[in-house]
Amino acid sequence: MRRRVAILGATGSVGRSTLDLIEADPEAFEVAALTAARNVDQLAASARRTRAGLAVIADEALLPRLRDALSGSGIRAAAGAQGLHEAATGDADWVMAAIVGCAGLEPVVAAVEAGKTVALANKEALVTAGALMIDAATRSGATILPVDSEHNAIFQCLAGQDRDGVAKLFLTASGGPFRTRTTSEMATVTPEQAVDHPNWSMGAKISVDSATMMNKGLELIEAHHLFGLRSERIDILVHPQSVIHSMVEYVDGSVLAQLGSPDMRVPIAHTLAWPKRMKTEVERLDLLSIGNLSFEAPDEQRFPALRLARQALEHDSAAPVVLNAANEIAVAAFLGRRIHFSAIADLVADALNAMNAAPPNTIADVLELDRRTRSWTSHRIADRAA
């Protein structure tokens, strides 16, 4: 039976990689829905190639353009929050959640509440609403499959194992483009340097998160929710080669690791075919040519985002919402050349100190705290520039 899929965020890097895999095996998959934020041309082209049933553009003002681009194709066009909800909850049985940032929270939660198998590439959803999402999945019977290479690696290493036998999780980090730079050197780096990742090809926002190592802090929080382990049982190791994607240590002293080429199509393929495996054309891992695998402890003095994320996780469920929202605004400001690279972590720390909020009980609470934090951080950036 062909698997019916929906891709939320089809024009981003994860969405495009998912489409590559689907289009390489069209007999195995049927595309129910594709969504994009504003890229009408790419969305329409992908929908036509895959004969998608529905194409959704998040920006409602662009719906007429999308309809024109799909004219004569028989593909239905929709827009806005209602269209995203339909794509997430429609007749697809497998949903790729790849909308970047907190913008993807509501459709991801909708897919979980609808009992779908959700391939989760949007780490911010679990960071900001992890407990709410896990509770929703328990009620609906949804399956959440992690797409981030690190969490997917842990998921694979845990397959068939009793979680009570787990001693510790190890999230590996490449260290990003500034792994060996001093604090003073990082103060003057440019957006172009920050998005030039040594191993992975990613979007601008996540590339900057890799450069600050905030991505690893967010993954720490995500791992807590996905695997049910407390902060002190999740360690981070810098592994510059990006060959070992993460590891699980068991109480008997055994350590299982998942290795692979640094290509997002590998973890995507794992979730796309799960519980089976599918063939991919990615470059195979050549350990002889790599030669050595090395590890370092992360430096929280040079990369304070790691410390901020762990503190947020250990504080309460409101703090990760603030952490994520402030980081998104700060990263956008850095990419827009309005603040220096080192100011990203400073702004996040300021927001965590300034924002007082009760732990959110609903998605509406999460979104309201997210909105207030973004507003506060934006004003803080404006004050810095004044």
Q: What does each of the 386 residues of the chain score in pLDDT, given as a tens digit? A: 799 999 999 999 899 999 999 999 999 999 999 999 999 999 999 999 999 999 999 999 999 999 999 999 999 999 999 999 999 999 999 999 999 877 889 999 999 999 999 999 988 899 999 999 999 999 999 999 999 999 999 999 998 788 889 999 999 999 989 999 999 999 899 999 998 877 666 778 888 999 999 999 999 999 999 999 999 999 999 999 999 999 999 999 999 999 998 899 999 999 999 999 999 999 999 999 999 999 999 999 999 999 999 999 999 899 999 999 999 999 999 999 999 999 999 999 999 999 988 999 999 999 999 999 999 999 999 988 75
Domain with CATH 1.10.1740.10 in the chain: 316-386
Residue 160, by phi and psi: left (phi above 0), alpha (psi -120 to 50) or beta? Answer: left
Distance of CA 156 to the CA centre of its chain: 18
* DSSP bridge partners of 29: 3
C-alpha torsion sign, points 289, 295, 300, 301: negative
The reply to whether CATH 1.10.1740.10 applies to domain 316-386 is yes
SS (H, E, C) the chain: CCEEEEEECCCCHHHHHHHHHHHHCCCCEEEEEEEECCCHHHHHHHHHHHCCCEEEECCHHHHHHHHHHCCCCCCEEEEHHHHHHHHHHCCCCEEEECCCCHHHHHHHHHHHHCCCEEEECCHHHHHHHHHHHHHHHHHHCCEEEECCHHHHHHHHHCCCCCHHHEEEEEEEECCCCCCCCCHHHHCCCCHHHHCCCCCCCCCHHHHHHHHHCHHHHHHHHHHHHHHCCCHHHEEEEECCCCCEEEEEEECCCCEEEEECCCCCHHHHHHHHHCCCCCCCCCCCCCHHHHCCCCCECCCCCCCCHHHHHHHHHHHCCCHHHHHHHHHHHHHHHHHCCCCCCCHHHHHHHHHHHHCCCCCCCCHHHHHHHHHHHHHHHHHHHHHHHC
Domain with CATH 3.40.50.720 in the chain: 3-146
Please give the Cα distance from 148 to 288 (Å, whole number).
Answer: 26
> Could you count the other beta carbons within 10 Å of the beta carbon of residue 249?
18
pTM of the model: 0.91
* DSSP bridge partners of 97: 8, 120
The reply to whether CATH 3.40.50.720 applies to domain 3-146 is yes
Burial class from Cβ neighbours inside 10 Å (0-12, 13-18, 19+) for residue 204 reads middle
